[in-house]
Structure 1
Amino acid sequence: MNRIKKLGFNTLIIGLGSMGSKFMIFLLVPFYTFYLSPAEYGQADILMMTISILIPILTLSIADGVFRYTMDKIDPKKVFSSGCAILVLMSVLLVALAPILLQIPMIQDYYILFSLILLVQAWNALFQQQVRANGKLILYSVSGLLMAVLLFVANLVFLKYWDMGIDGFLYANLVAFSVQAFLLFFGGKLYRFFSFRAINKPLLGKMLLYSLPLIPNAVLWWVMQVSDRYILTLFLGVAANGLYTVAAKIPSLLSMLNTVFFQAWSISAIGDGIKKSDTFFAQVFTIFSCLFFVVTEVILLIVQPFADTLFSAAYQGVWQYVPFLLIAVILSSFSSFLEVSYMAEKKTKQLVITTLKGGIVNIALSFLLIPFVGIIGASIATLIGFLITWLLRMHQTGFFRQIESKFSFWCSLALLFGQSVYLSCIDTPNLMVQCLFAVALLGCQAVLVKKLVRYKTARSLAK
């Protein structure tokens, strides 16, 4: 199986489960807008986002180390057992931190649920990485799909029928992630890989040397994605954060594609030892960028009627915050694509510098823009933060010169940015103007695809 087919196969298998599960989670957003007020949804979102940032910190990002070293064909029993040791220590640390967490206003009323979800998601992340590294992609995908179905059913029960508000939202997440962790552990027979005797301190040291730099990288990545929500809450209140959270869910359609591709791409790039100087690297990026440009254009064309139809009256108008967030997701995805090369070469320390600079710009702009231009200022700050990170990584890896059909690529990015400015500044977009942007972008993508097809044809004839 050649590299393109292998990457396509892995993407398909992961996508069947992941896209289905993530799309179902996206469909819950309109449901939340009917059963949670903007203030309640904003509070619930803050809790879940706080959990997402505590996981890499408390677990030392060991799940990433487990994946990377299992891919190196090191005894999986030693790798998994050593990873589990870190999570056991994390569980003890979480109990010790209870007095501190109970003093935080946004957490204290939900401390038990908050802690349980944190523990379950941490173990779930470790199980996912081990199963993925073991090559059990079907189980990986099925578990994600089952989790989404359970999340939908649990939300239906706790929010619609039992009217439990934020508590119901948290209970639904706890049930869904617990069942997924159970399925991964027993379905993947991970119990066969655990033994206290298999815990290997020298190996654990190497794993931590790889994973520790990923902690500040994960924190800073989270800062660029989430910090603006805390700043919004500070200046404009939790209701504004609720509106912004709903707006951010629409670009999550694009994030789904990136998540699926990133998981498949990391397996191929690390497993096959693909270098960033390899022509295959640039070809995959061309396909990747074409897909993202086209999907983004489709979302921009339908974002207004889509949002006005699906969301309740309290959330009308959030679509105007979406365009800049879509561009931010594109830039974030391009950065993630290059991130795989750092992982493959175990140069995780270099990731931190690029993410740090982007994070600083994001936070500074959020404090500067939100008080003056409101919610849309958060979107702009996020976009610029990811732009800085991506450009720095492009420079650091020397990938600028490897982009194929540079004019078409940069023109496509400029067109999407121009269309985003147009949509964000006008209450009633003109369909004709929208179509002109779309035709121009598709023309640029046609040039890229044509060049790629010619290259493939030439290689086939050469053989």
Structure 2
Amino acid sequence: MNRFKLFIENFLVYGLGGMISKIVPFIMLPIVTRMMPNTFYFGLNDISTVVVSFGQALAIMGMYDALFRMFFENSSQEYKKEICSTALTFTFITSVIIFIAMIILRKPLAAVFFSNRKYANLLCLSAMSILIGATNSIVSAPTRMRNQRRIYLITNFLSPVISYSISIPLLLKGYYIIALPLASILAALSVEIIFIVLNRKWFSFKINKRYLKDMLIIALPLVPNFLVYWIFNSSDRLMISKLIGTEWNGIYAVGAKIGQISQLIYTAFAGGWQFFAFSTMKDNDQVKMTSNIFEYLGIITFSTGMLMASLSKVVFKLLFSEAYLAGYIVMPYLFVSPLLLMLYQVVVNQFLVVKKTWPSVIILGVGAITNVLINALLIPAIGIEGAAIGTFLGYVAAITGVIIVLSKMKLVSISGKFYFCIILFIGFSLAWRLVFLNNYVICLLLSVVVIGIYVGMYRKDLFKVLKKDEVNRR
């Protein structure tokens, strides 16, 4: 199969899956924010989500990825059942330990995360979400590993539908603190029951110690990566709440959720990239091909980012009340950030190709530290925009570091015209923020001009790819 066609097909298939699972939350976001009396409650719920994401990463401890890797090691059904059972039992034990610890320490932890001990009950709900969510990922794994896409997509769509069917009536009755987390728990539990019924033959509560050892060898080195990603995605929320108040985190969270429309693109990429990358890693022009894909996706990132910056204020005025309008300023930064992660993962995969994975953890860690330091410096100075800038520059630092290292290893080769495209993007960004922030018409025209320049610079590459695809079809 033509490589371009292979890449696009994987991109579209997983993109559709990601879109189906995320479309309901995007539609419901403006409705939910208008049902809450102020931004504080949405900020509080967002911090609860941050706690859950951290707890689930610790509870799963890389076991989901290890299960995926080990499942295909042997074709024996008995072997596969023992692998699945070992993963579920281990994850259940770690989840219960974390759940019990959070219940016992609920008051001091509530003071740390929510800045007030009176939200201890909310922390209990977070603990329940961790327990259900961590085990849910394991019991659903056989469905994914057997490529039962229809079931997986239906349940992904079903979860948010159940969640909002529960949370909306609770919000109407004034349960602003517990409505979203309680609905999330019940939705996750419903989906988990479905997967338990469908995949029950794959699981039993027992551990094969030899298999567990092999799985932990794969899983444990992944934990630092999960923690670094959590810092990127969550440290800004916690620091905003501590430094300037939870109500500002509510505004920031809305800007982040709208900005993360780009997560649909990232989800599509993440689902399709791994298969594509490893299926082509032995090609003679693999370095050039990977570098070209990095540049093409970079152009898409810059182009969509400029359009989003131009329209961010208009979008917020259309969708949200005046209380959330200040969130428009973070939307462009947080729209581009997941796409920067996509670019990072394109090139960092080169370390995996040559079986040297440790540099990626160090480089991404430097990016995370950069993020936290900029947050600490800019949040007190300029508010939520400082947090968005921190996230953006953290990913920029990671990409810069990985390009420098891989270029020296001759595992990536970036063209001069792409660096010129970066300069144009920086120029537009400065013009948007410092001069035309409130003039979306001029910003939009300027972005169209820059995108036109990009197209002109890469038109030969585009024609070349399409011509190769046409030749292969013949």
Q: TM-score, normalised by structure 2?
A: 0.86
SS in 2 for 1:103: helix
Shift of 1:305: 0.8
Q: Is the contact between residue 66 and residue 215 of structure 2 (CA under 8 Å) also seen in structure 1?
A: yes
1:145–1:270 distance in 2 versus 1, CA, 3 Å = farther
Q: Deviations over 1:263-315 (max 9, x none)?
A: 22224435676689455434543453344333333322321111111011111
Amino acid at match of 1:406: S
Determine whether 1:66 maps to 2:67: yes
Code of the residue aligned with 1:317 in structure 2: it is A
* Pairs aligned (count): 459
> Using the alignment, how far apart are the partners of 2:389 and 2:423 within structure 1?
15
1:220 match: 228
Q: Which consecutive unaligned segments of at least 5 residues does structure 2 have?
A: none
Counterpart pick for 1:210 among 203, 210, 218: 218
What is the alpha-carbon distance in structure 2 between the residues aligned to residue 26 and residue 442 of structure 1?
A: 30
Classify the secondary structure of the residue corresponding to 1:250.
Answer: helix
Instruction: Say which of 118, 124, 132 aligns to 1:120.
Output: 132
Instruction: Specify whether residues 274 and 172 from structure 1 end up closer, same or farther in structure 2 by C-alpha distance, changes over 3 A only.
Output: farther
State the alpha-carbon separation in 1 of the partners of residues 281 and 231 from structure 2. Answer: 31
Output the CA distance in 2 between the equivalents of 1:283 and 1:377: 32
Q: Within 2, Cα distance between the matches of 1:385 and 1:27?
A: 29
Q: How does 1:264-279 map onto structure 2 within 5 Å?
A: 264-270=272-278, 277=286, 279=288
**Superposition pairs of residues 151-162 of structure 1, within 5 angstroms:** 151-159=163-171, 161-162=172-173
Confirm or deny: 8 A CA contact 1:38 1:242 kept in the other structure: yes
Which letter does structure 2 place at the counterpart of 1:415? L
1:159-238 alignment, distance < 5 Å: 159=171, 161-186=172-197, 189-196=198-205, 199-238=207-246
Q: 3-state SS of the aligned residue for 2:379?
A: helix
CA change 1:100–1:16 in 2 (3 A) is same
Shift of the 79–442 alpha-carbon distance from structure 1 to 2, 3 Å rule, reads: farther
3-state SS of paired residue (2:126): helix
Q: Tell me which amino acid in the other structure corresponds to 2:169.
A: V
SS state at 1:191 partner: helix
Give 1:43 deviation, angstroms.
0.8
Residues 205 and 349 of structure 1, relative CA distance in 2, 3 Å threshold = farther
CA–CA separation in structure 1 for the residues paired with 2:10 and 2:84: 23
Q: Distance in 2 between matches of 1:274 and 1:222?
A: 33
What is the CA-CA distance between 1:371 and the residue it aligns to? 1.3
Checking the alignment, whether the CA contact within 8 Å between 2:159 and 2:188 is kept in structure 1 is: yes
**Structure 1 residues 202 and 280, CA, compared in 2 at 3 Å: closer, same or farther?**
farther
2:256 aligns with: 248
Q: CA-to-partner distance for each residue in 1:41-85, whole Å, 9 max, x for gaps? A: 111100111110121112212112122333556653233222112
Residues of 1 paired with 2:8 and 2:147: CA distance? 15
Matched with 2:29 is: 29
Which SS does the other structure have where 2:330 is aligned?
Answer: helix
Which residue in the other structure is 1:317 paired with?
A: 326
Amino acid at match of 1:450: K
Q: Counterpart amino acid of 1:21? A: S
CA gap 1:459/1:256 in 2 versus in 1, 3 angstroms: closer
* Inter-partner Cα distance in structure 2 for 1:19 and 1:274: 32
Deviation track 1:114-169 (CA, whole Å, cap 9, x = no partner) reads 2221112112323454433322233222221222322332232222x332112111
Secondary structure in structure 1 of the residue aligned to 2:108: coil
Tell me what 1:91 maps to: 95
Letter paired with 1:34: R
Q: Does the alignment pair 1:132 with 2:144?
A: yes
**Cα separation, partners in 2 of 1:268 and 1:374, compared to 1, 3 Å:** same
Aligned to 2:314: 305
Q: Which moved more, 1:8-17 or 1:297-306?
A: 8-17
1:419 equivalent in structure 2? 428
TM-score by length of structure 1 reads: 0.88
- 2:50 match: 49
Q: Deviations over 1:328-380 (max 9, x none)?
A: 33322212334555567765543321121111111111111111122211111
Q: In 2, Cα distance between the equivalents of 1:293 and 1:96?
A: 46
Distance in structure 1 (CA, Å) of the matches to 2:82 and 2:406: 33
1:79 maps to which residue? 83
Are the structure 2 counterparts of residues 448 and 148 from structure 1 closer, same or farther at C-alpha, using a change threshold of 3 Å? farther
Query: Bigger CA drift: 259-268 or 290-299?
Result: 290-299
Which residue is equivalent to 2:17? 17
Over the aligned positions, Cα root-mean-square deviation in angstroms equals 3.0
